[in-house]
Amino acid sequence: MRNSAIAKEKRECVRILHLEDSAADAQLIHILMDDEGLRCDVTVAPNKPRFENALTENQFDLILCDHGIPGYDGFSALRFAREIQPLTPIIMLSGMLDDAQAVESLKGGATDYILKQRLARLVPAIRRALHEAEERDEKKKLEAAFLRAQRMDSIGALAGGIAHDLNNALAPVLMSVELLKNCDDEAVRERFLDVITSSAQRATGMVKQILGFARGHGRSGPVSVSNVVREMAKILRDTFPKSISISVKSGNEGLWQIPGDATELHQVLLNLCVNARDAMPKGGRLSVSAENARLDEAAAADLKTAPGPYVLLSVADTGTGIPPEVLPCIFEPFFTTKMPDKGTGLGLSTVAGIVRQHGGCIDIKTELGHGTEFRIYFRALESTTDDHEISDEEVQLPTGHGELILVIEDEEAVRELTKTTLETYNYRVVTAQDGEQGITRFKEHSREIRVLVTDTDMPYLDGMGAVHAIKQMRPDIPVIIASGSKYDTEQVLRIKREHCFNLGKPFSADQLLLAVGMAIQH
């Protein structure tokens, strides 16, 4: 791995952000790095605004941070850098030895602390920091690949149920469309339209849940456990055999949040529930619950964890139970009692790894012939979320006043329905079927167009390419990005740079109108 890091260093320039108000000190350090053969592309930021703007707009391999910037102390710079680019190594530089300052810097997330009088340490420290960062990056990529593969294994276990449920959701749509062709009764037509709407929403919601879980869209941060449990309940009820009754209890309004990743919490629940399903081949009862739990010293000692607030997730079944001789091995990677084509032996080892990463622990109660209960304790934040959802009646849909909207969309049906919806609500619309045509249309109506609505993935020129070109002509044009695909890192950065609104596909007429209304008011 070290050879790999050195080879990368020789092949590519290391992108460094240097917070330094002294031009002489900055030049001295850059000469030193050059003399040591370190190929660098250095951005010097002499003050707080330049430093924070550079961090927000660009990704760096390393940050050098002077402690003595007037009006901006090193600790503030360190905190900001850790918030914006948490994985980028940071080396603090100081002109004076201060042990307390050095310790505080390292506690705050600095990789190293170097005196300017001892700059001979700098280049070795940079090389060591880059090497360690690459090792962490490779490890995270391997872990992510492993979790993605294991998620797909879990999805494969549900494939039959997913196909069955999607067919059930789409069948009423096809049947209602045929019946609508020969129906003149307005009340009956309304009922058919309601069936089509609810069925399409059901199918859309299920596809989003499955794809989000399979791809791993979760974000790190406070996770609403009650939301995750409710979402998982939908998947279970849609895909598990009807011979298994499913009971879900997470209605506690005061349920705490946990710090972590919602997708990984989904993965824990799904793995445990799939195992429970397999333990009940003839049917049974599956119970999933979530509640707050505060462990005192004695309870924490029994569970071999620290005392404090936890969210307790319980997954219980009435299946075959786990034999005593098997129980000590169930969390070992690749250990399984299933047939080779029925399981990989990675499910429970994945569960154990995710629980450990979230500062939790697992307690198991099982009895042969009477079922198993997994009790998962996740370290909790003593805060809750307001899960209130705004209903359609609470939203006043905006109406246009003849504003001209440019819609760029390569899918004809989506393009025409978007146009019709906007025109119905008193907007004027001009359309284009790809990015190049969109730029041409914008040039034709550049003074009149109030909002640009564009897809991302299109032939000839993608949506973000068109947005960039159009913003060169009118930087203030509000832009709504509508896409059904997951954004990669580069797309996310481009969307942020262009200050775009995001509208995920498939979207309803209400969501489109609200987005356009917000963009016009922006």
What confidence tier does 340 reach under pLDDT thresholds 50, 70, 90? Answer: very low
pLDDT of residue 200: 75
Q: Which residue has the higher pLDDT, 125 or 6?
A: 125
pLDDT tier, 214 (very low <50, low <70, confident <90, very high otherwise): low
pLDDT of residue 39: 84
Distance CA 41, CA 53 (A): 17
Which is higher by pLDDT, 195 or 259?
A: 259
The Cα-based distances of 45 to 17, 42, 52, 65 in angstroms read 7, 10, 9, 10
Residue 11 has pLDDT above 50, yes or no: no
Task: Please tell me the predicted confidence (pLDDT) of residue 43.
Answer: 92
Is the model's pLDDT at 103 over the cut of 50?
yes
- Read off the pLDDT band of 490 (50, 70, 90): low
204 against 501, higher pLDDT: 501
What is the secondary structure of 117-174 as a DSSP string?
A: GGGGGHHHHHHHHHHHHHHHHHHHHHHHHHHHHHHHHHHHHTHHHHHHHHHHHHHHHH
* pLDDT confidence of residue 318: 95
Question: CA–CA separation, 379 vs 355, rounded Å?
Answer: 9
What percent of the chain shows pLDDT beyond 70?
A: 78
- Tell whether the model's pLDDT for residue 399 goes beyond 80: yes
- Mean pLDDT for the stretch of residues 484-491: 53
Checking DSSP bridges between strand 371-379 and strand 308-317, what pairing results, if any? Answer: antiparallel
Question: 252 pLDDT exceeds 60?
Answer: no
Give the orientation angle of helix 122-157 with respect to helix 159-181, to 10 degrees. 60
What mean pLDDT do residues 403-418 have? 90
DSSP 404-464: EEEEE-SSHHHHHHHHHHHHHTT-EEEEESSHHHHHHHHHHTTTTEEEEEE-SS-SSS-HH
| pLDDT above 90 (res 376) | yes
Q: What does the pLDDT look like over 270-311, one tens digit per residue?
A: 888 888 998 998 999 999 999 999 999 999 888 888 888 999
> What pLDDT shows up at residue 402?
94
Whole-angstrom distance, CA of residue 89 vs CA of residue 149? 29
pLDDT at 428 over 90: yes
Output the average pLDDT for the chain: 80
What's the pLDDT at 346? Answer: 57
C-beta of residue 290 within 8 angstroms of C-beta of residue 251: no
Q: What pLDDT is recorded for position 333?
A: 65
| Residue-wise burial string across 112-126, b where 16 or more C-beta atoms lie within 10 A, e elsewhere | bbbebeebeebbebb
